Amino acid sequence: MNLVEISKAIEEGQVSLGIELGSTRIKSVLVTKDFKTVASGSYVWENKFDNGIWTYPIEQVWEGIQTSYSQMAAEVQSKYHQPLKKINSIGISAMMHGYLAFDKNDELLVPFRTWRNNITADAADALTKEFDFNIPQRWCVAHLYQAILNDEDHVKDIDFITTLAGYVTWKLSGAKVLGIGDASGAFPIDEKTGTYSEEMLTKFANLDKVKPYSWNIKDILPDVEKAGEVAGKLSAEGAKLLDPKGNLEAGSVVAPPEGDAGTGMVGTNSVRKRTGNISVGTSAFSMVVLEKPLKNVHRDIDIVMTPDGSPVAMVHVNNCSSDINAWAGIFNEFAARLGVNLPADKLYEALFLEATRADPNAGGLVNYSYQSGENITDIQAGRPLFVRTPNSNFNLPNFILTQLYSAFAPLKIGMNILSNEEHIHTDVMIAQGGLFRTQVMAQQVLANALNIPITVMENAGEGGPWGMAVLAMYSADNNGQTLDDYLDHNVFQNPESMTLSPEPEGVKGYEEYTKKYVDGLPVEASAGDAILD
């Protein structure tokens, strides 16, 4: 679409809005019917470790949404000379799972508990055993049951629990609903019924610790909807929450909210069976859409759902790019002391370029990028740690490669379970996330780590909110197509992408690095015990 056509589409409200509340950034993107982003805005935020809980203030949720929306609306006015008044469809996604609990007066009972918390081990273990189904620590039901085991006073007053995306959607449209992908991280889903497992709901309700409470688990969970259904319309109050200036009109179709895993699958066109994708950011996860159930229950493999309700084997790791970003910040400070002002993209490009000159095994250096605990490697407390021996080849290229290696190491360990124990393989994995904004290096490291080809699409750095905007368009008008057909025939007709295959020397070097990494995990665990936060 040209400038005149885009301006007319905005005037007529023929646009879709996707908002994603990620771990480090809230982003709003406006997308036209040809699936092109025409305006965007963002807000940077950071989780806080408050009284032993990783959290974000609920007020900052709206500050961030309104800031990112206002930036996007200002860009619309500036570029297309049109105020943004009407939006055809809106979709909200957010970091998956966690715990938001409300009473009957819609008051938040305890601060938002994010996916990053490793505080529900007892509950997750007990529920996994009871259900014979893996319940990860970050899932809503694990947080709920842990609060019950802890005899937390707020539990008796619970009227509704939801995820972050579910909360925002509820406030915009009034619908207490989750998309099936996000819902599968609230409570296990029955693929046949497309909603929560009746058997497991009954088992939960009959637990001795649960019985004393007056509420029923069925009543406090959000409803479940699949992609293409509608989670209400934008209310007048919701429009004011997005746009306090009052320009935005009510009435937009609101899509079922999804987690960042769901938008990652849409953004990489990975919702068909036997497809797979990897999303990297503060955390990282791989998703493989399954043809048949896994043979065994694995504590490191989650079973979640695509936005249209197919089961997915998910490897989720809590830590990925945070340590790289922290070190990049140190290098940027040093550059500034020398009077050099480096934009972020140039900084990462310069650092990652150095890694191309590194030894394949990173010179014997080892790094643990654990800002928080890590379930995959059974590390309880995060202590970023860099280790070398006196004989390690300590130079800048090896140091940067070590940061990239460590970012993907827990993911590799989890993926090995799928390939070695379940014999599940994909021909190629599609990757997205900010690390891939710098071309080639991170993509090649990931290909070597997993020993499979990795494809990166042109939208690799901004897939989440764009993917949610696509889901919003699908809810508003899908012509009866299934989601996978809609993506194939409408959205990804001519995708621009690049695929890199594993390099034998790099694969061997990464295996050497991984052995040192695994051997040194007791040191990382000891650091968490010895060095208190």
Confidence band of 282 (pLDDT split at 50, 70, 90): confident
What is the structure's pLDDT at 417?
Answer: 87
Q: State the Cα–Cα distance between residues 311 and 293, nearest whole angstrom.
A: 8
For residue 38, how far is the Cα from the chain centroid? 23
The model carries a pTM of 0.84
Q: State the Cα–Cα distance between residues 232 and 455, nearest whole angstrom.
A: 36
DSSP 374: B
What is the structure's pLDDT at 1?
Answer: 86
Confidence band of 459 (pLDDT split at 50, 70, 90): low
Contacts of 11 (CB under 8 A, 6+ apart): 82
What's the whole-number mean pLDDT along residues 45-65? 94
pLDDT tens for 337-365 read 999 999 999 999 999 999 999 999 999 99
What is the structure's pLDDT at 496?
Answer: 79
What is the structure's pLDDT at 462?
Answer: 53
Query: Do the strands 177-179 and 189-190 form a parallel or antiparallel pair, or are they unpaired?
Result: unpaired
pLDDT tens for 157-182 read 999 999 999 999 999 999 999 999 99
What's the whole-number mean pLDDT along residues 254-278? 91
**Number of other CB atoms surrounding residue 515 within 10 Å:** 11
What's the whole-number mean pLDDT along residues 191-213? 97
> Do the Cβ atoms of 186 and 79 come closer than 8 Å?
no
pLDDT tens for 104-143 read 999 999 999 998 888 999 999 999 999 999 999 999 999 9
Position 460 pLDDT exceeds 60: no
pLDDT tens for 387-429 read 999 999 999 999 999 999 999 999 999 898 888 899 887 777 8
What is the structure's pLDDT at 43?
Answer: 97
- 306-to-16, 173, 180, 311, 483 alpha-carbon distances in Å: 21, 23, 7, 7, 10
Q: Where do we find the tokens 């919701």? A: 238
Return the higher-pLDDT residue of 318 and 85: 85
pLDDT tens for 491-503 read 988 777 899 999 9
pLDDT tens for 226-248 read 999 999 999 999 999 999 999 99
What's the whole-number mean pLDDT along residues 249-275? 92
The residue among 38, 15, 36, 27 whose CA lies nearest residue 464 is: 27
What's the whole-number mean pLDDT along residues 152-156? 98
Element (H, E) at 517: helix 504-519
pLDDT > 90 fraction of the chain, expressed in percent and rounded: 81
Domains and CATH numbers, the chain: 261-318+414-500 (3.30.420.40), 322-408+503-530 (no CATH)
**Burial class of residue 106 (count of CB atoms within 10 Å of its CB; 0-12, 13-18, 19+):** exposed
> Do the Cβ atoms of 115 and 97 come closer than 8 Å?
yes
Half-sphere exposure of 448 (CA within 13 A, CB side): 25
